[in-house]
């Protein structure tokens, strides 16, 4: 049986949506994480941002982390805007087309309380959260080879298994 293993570090994924006042809209809006990360430097510090967008596509840069720069080469990135996605999403449909039957996800790190259904809904764009909940309840998505509830929390060292039916 063909299977594939991903390794995740769930340390830096912010919530997918945040309710926040949008200056441009002039009202409370729902901002969604675009999964794009940007690093800016002012020479002393590197700032890491998550790019969020409201329903009208206005941008909000959520500050995630500040790193102290410690060497000269970092100054060179000052004008550079680097965009990276911290965690790659799992392309279920294309994996299935390649004949993959089981997808394992090893959790190398988990910081904070992460529900399995929410994490998978963010990282698997091909499946909706309600589809994911059904699969967890059916047992085709398991945690440590056990059937769990959609609200189960993830911990470091655990393994999620997705069985393609």
Residue numbers of the site for Zn ion (CB under 5 A)? 22, 24-25, 29, 54, 56, 58
Facing residues of 83 across strands?
38
In the bound complex, what is the minimum distance in angstroms from residue 125's beta carbon to Zn ion? 23
Instruction: Give yes or no for a contact between 109 and 11, defined as CB atoms under 8 angstroms apart.
Output: yes
Residue 2 or 25: the one with the smaller Cβ distance to Zn ion is: 25
Which CA distances in Å does 51 have to 22, 47, 81, 106?
14, 12, 12, 26
CB of 14 to Zn ion, least distance (A): 18
For the bound state, the minimum distance from the C-beta of residue 53 to Zn ion, rounded and expressed in Å, comes to: 8
Instruction: Please report how close the Cβ of residue 128 comes to Zn ion at its closest, in angstroms.
Output: 25
* Closer by beta carbon to Zn ion, 31 or else 127: 31
Residues 85 and 36: beta-carbon distance below 8 Å: yes
Among candidate residues 108, 111, 92, the one with its CA nearest the CA of residue 100: 92
In the complex with Zn ion, the residue whose CB is nearer, 24 or 111, is 24
Nearer to Zn ion, 54 or 160 (CB): 54
CA proximity to 116, closest of 100, 95, 85, 137: 137
């Amino acid at each position: 049986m063909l299977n594939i293993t991903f390794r995740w570090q769930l340390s830096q994924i912010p919530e997918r949506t945040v309710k926040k006042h949008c200056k441009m809209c002039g009202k409370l809006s729902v901002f969604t994480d675009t999964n794009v990360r940007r690093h800016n430097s002012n020479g002393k510090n590197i700032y890491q941002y998550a790019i969020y967008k409201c329903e009208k596509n206005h941008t909000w840069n959520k500050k995630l982390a500040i790193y102290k720069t410690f060497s000269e080469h970092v100054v060179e990135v000052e004008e550079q805007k680097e965009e990276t996605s911290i965690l790659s999403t799992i392309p279920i449909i294309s994996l299935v087309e390649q004949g993959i039957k089981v997808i394992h996800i090893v959790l190398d790190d988990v910081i904070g309380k992460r529900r399995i259904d929410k994490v998978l809904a963010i990282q698997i764009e091909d499946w909706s959260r309600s589809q994911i909940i059904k699969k967890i309840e059916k047992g085709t998505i398991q945690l440590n080879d056990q059937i769990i509830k959609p609200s189960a929390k993830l911990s470091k060292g655990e393994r999620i298994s997705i069985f393609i039916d």
